[in-house]
Amino acid sequence: MSKTVEFTDGNFELEVLQSEHPVLVDFWAEWCGPCRMIGPVVEEMAGEYEGKAKIGKVNVDLNPEVSVKYGIRSIPALLIFKDGQVVDQIIGAVPKTHLTKQLEAQLN
């Protein structure tokens, strides 16, 4: 099973903004309980969408630049990027069905 990609301030442009596939980015932190709840769902989706979408995580404590750039104030915050632009945003721990529905909408 594929692991999520670790996005950082340093690789965000290349890995997310220049990706040929839609990208689901999970903004999270170690100390965030809801982040730990949704983490395994995001990991699972990384395997399921391999080759169709890129799925990864940004630790907001270690990567303040990208977190500030996208106005992340609450975590978990999941942003979906397509062609370098934010096309959808999900705040909070939501069911997997909600995440997959939002991501599927960008796979056309």
Indicate which residues carry an active-site annotation.
32, 35
- Judged by DSSP in three states, 70 sits in coil
Strands across the sheet with 77-82, in order? 5-6, 54-59, 23-28, 77-82, 85-91
Give dist(CA 95, CA 108) in Å, integer: 22
Other C-beta atoms closer than 10 Å to the C-beta of 108 total 6
Rounded to the nearest angstrom, the gap between the alpha carbon of residue 9 and the centroid of all alpha carbons in its chain is 14
